Structure 1
């Protein structure tokens, strides 16, 4: 399975000149009744098992936090006026898209205010991945400084986020 990584920047094109950007904050495989039956069945042939591993569509679910959008070629670090729907197609952003979207840090506020996600881990994974898209090797340090500035009045969250960032910086 070739799935985007936790913390990756993705985009969902939703119309002419409009697309939503988001960060993957959860990836899981839903319970699959057929696999459960295969595992508990007696004498399942290797051919049947291989066929299910190689050809079966796996029910993978990804949760994405909207962090901005692009309209007519301009990036906005605001919540999108029309968010993507659960069945809209999403694409992993290439290095050019990542560098362009992460040039400024306005989208960090959406990550830091999302209480239902593991903020520190998402930011650490995202910052680590985004650094590879930037020619400026100081981008990661600037990103960490921005996080410190944004969380300066929330010491518990700052310490939790810095703990996660310390694993990748």
Structure 2
């Protein structure tokens, strides 16, 4: 498995089917559909997930961000300037992302089904590089997991993941054709849903 020395986040919650991680940098979560790898207890292992939800809010439970763009005195500061004016926001806000589990590493082999255990809380999370994305997408068994997982935006997540994977592929068109055929086989009885996904993955 390629070494990925830069940790982007750590697991703060995990179940058998998904995990949530807190990013180390505010507003620096991987994009929707990104393939990420959480470290497993076995140093040689890892748990793969596709990012399906990204959120930023107060670090304090039950807390909420407050308006900073306009003061009662009439002073106006907007967008990125707010973060420059208030560097303390990095201490009071936190960016988190959730990923649906789509596989794991077992003795150096990628398996595209649920691992025996989810990643441990407080273990590291890495965004996969091009080589790892290519290796993971040699198989497509994870398509079914994403499309039929309840309570997540599976269609949008898979489409986003395939757009990212296509950019990493040696032959983008061939990859998307193969992916489209796999999706068509899974959704052969739901034409409208199938076409909506295919429209989202066209280059």
TM-score, normalised to structure 1, is: 0.83
Map residues 14-93 of structure 1 onto 2, 5 A cutoff: 14=40, 15-31=42-58, 33=63, 35-36=65-66, 42=72, 50=84, 52-53=86-87, 56-57=90-91, 58-93=93-128
Alpha-carbon shift at residue 42 of structure 1 (Å): 4.8
Does the 8 A contact of 1:9 with 1:21 survive in 2?
yes
Contact 1:20/1:66 (<8 A) preserved? yes
Answer yes or no: is the 8 Å Cα contact 2:49–2:101 preserved in 1.
yes
Matches of 1:75 and 1:26, distance apart in 2: 24
Partner Cα separation in structure 2 for residue 56 and residue 31 of structure 1: 10
Shift of 1:55: 6.7
Match of 1:147 among 147, 169, 183: 183
Alignment match of 2:170 (pick from 135, 146, 153): 135
RMSD (CA atoms):
2.8
- TM-superposed CA distance for 1:154, in Å, is 3.5
Q: Deviations over 1:18-65 (max 9, x none)?
A: 100010001011246584175676568x89963534772431120100
- Is there any run of 5+ residues in structure 1 with no aligned partner, and where? none
Q: Give the helix-richer structure, 1 or 2.
A: 1
Which of the numbers 8, 12, 16 marks the counterpart of 2:38? 12
Equivalent-residue separation in structure 1 for 2:72 and 2:38 (angstroms)? 44
Q: Provide the TM-score with structure 2 as the length reference.
A: 0.70
Give the conservation status (yes or no) of the 8 Å contact 2:57–2:64.
no
1: CA distance, partners of 2:49 / 2:134: 14
TM-superposed CA distance for 1:132, in Å, is 1.5
Tell me the distance in 1 between the aligned counterparts of 2:191 and 2:125: 35
Is contact 1:120-1:162 (8 Å) kept? no
Deviation of the 1:117 alpha carbon: 1.5
Aligned length, in residue pairs: 167
Greater Cα shift, 61-70 or 80-89: 80-89
